[in-house]
Amino acid sequence: MAMAFLWPGGKNKALAMSYDDGCRQDKQLVEVLNRYGIKGTFHLNSGVMENTSYRLSKEEALQIYEGHEIACHTLTHPYLERIAYSEVMREIWCDRANLEAFTGRQIRGMSYPMRNHPAETEEMCRAAGIIYARTAESTGKFNLPEDFIRWEPTCHQSEMLEYLPTFLKLDKWRKLSLFMVWGHGFEFERENSGVSWEMLEEFCSQVSQDNDVWFAGCTEICRYVNAVRHAEVSCDGNMVYNPSAETLYWETDDGMRCLLPGECKNIR
Ligand SMILES: [Zn+2]
């Protein structure tokens, strides 16, 4: 039997919450996430963060997103299919460079702005050092993305409470399940958005009670899955080498086992 990989800590499920635009309401959103120990990922447009009533400034973002992931959403939030490819490249690269400069972190994630993105932009993301890019096309599933450069979420946050019971009840045999929710902070305060602070509170309260869920940033999830996919297992399945920088976890009949970065082990 193939190795049954688990999420870090030996968990079966992971939750990613991915928010776009760096809205003012993210302050309250992060307060709720923090209260329940849930990690968010925030996709920012670094070229348009100053002097707007809609977005947080860089200084505010740095403070508010402490302990959460910061990721790209392009420099100025254009329709990617309406601008020159050379500008698309600049929109991605410069956003990444700006975010790295003001956060002092490595920025490797992105979400596409304005829903559509031409297929060519996916290769541009890769060339610009982006390891995953989230779309806004819901799948309604808890699967891992085939290709992280086109990472389709489970659902928009307006539907998160509908999918939650199924996620909480997933069978133990279903390893590496992933619930990816996306949205915007402003939706909590806009009428008829299908989203409210009460909904968020309810969702976080329920999901945080499930000890089998790993709460992680999108980059952490992407890196871990890449490490799983690149684990080097011998032909007879008896030996495994972990060439990544992640500790890998999997389940055996005798319980959970793990493999440190660079470690090679007989596993049966
Ligand atoms: Zn956006």
**Rounded CA separation 101/107 (Å):** 10
Work out the pLDDT band at 174, boundaries 50, 70, 90. Answer: confident
Q: Per this entry, what is the length of the chain?
A: 268
Tokens of 268: 């049966």
Q: How far apart are the CA of 267 and the centre of ligand 1, in A?
A: 45
Q: What was the pLDDT predicted at 189?
A: 95
Please name each of the domains of the chain with its CATH number.
Answer: 12-226 (3.20.20.370), 230-266 (no CATH)
pTM for this predicted structure:
0.96
Q: How far apart are the CA of 114 and the centre of ligand 1, in A?
A: 6
**Residue 88: phi, psi to the nearest 5?**
-60, -45
Q: 31-80, pLDDT tens digit by residue?
A: 999 999 999 999 999 999 987 899 999 999 999 999 999 999 999 999 99
Half-sphere exposure of 42 (CA within 13 A, CB side): 32
Q: How far apart are the CA of 111 and the centre of ligand 1, in A?
A: 8
Q: How far apart are the CA of 78 and the centre of ligand 1, in A?
A: 9
Q: How far apart are the CA of 145 and the centre of ligand 1, in A?
A: 21
Q: How far apart are the CA of 19 and the centre of ligand 1, in A?
A: 9
**Rounded CA separation 136/70 (Å):** 18
Q: What was the pLDDT predicted at 89?
A: 96
Is the pLDDT reported for residue 209 higher than 90? yes
**Rounded CA separation 127/157 (Å):** 30
**DSSP β-bridge partners for residue 240:** 233, 265
Q: Whole-number mean pLDDT of the chain?
A: 96
